[in-house]
Amino acid sequence: YQDFKQEVSRLCGTDLHLYKSQQMDRRIHSLMSFWGISDYQEYLSVLKTDPRRYQEFVKK
């Protein structure tokens, strides 16, 4: 999970460590569940390749 947050921070330019852990974890899992994604590596890959899902992630 920490590696995922670091990679997403680099990808988005936003330090996810600045957000409350429980809130961020809930948000990430909610989006993963909504899109049927089961692990962080898969979600990171989706964020890198799917502009729609990336925008949804950064807007919430």
pLDDT of residue 59: 85
Is residue 57 predicted with pLDDT exceeding 80? yes
Rounded CA-CA distance 45/19 in Å is 22
Q: Beta-carbon neighbour count of residue 43 at 10 Å?
A: 20
Percent of the residues in the chain that have a pLDDT greater than 70, as a whole number? 98
Is residue 16 predicted with pLDDT exceeding 90? no
Domain ranges, ordered by start, for the chain: 2-59
With a CB cutoff of 8 Å and minimum separation 6, the contacts of 23 are none
Is residue 3 predicted with pLDDT exceeding 80? yes
pLDDT of residue 60: 66
Is residue 31 predicted with pLDDT exceeding 90? yes
- Indicate the pTM of the whole model: 0.81
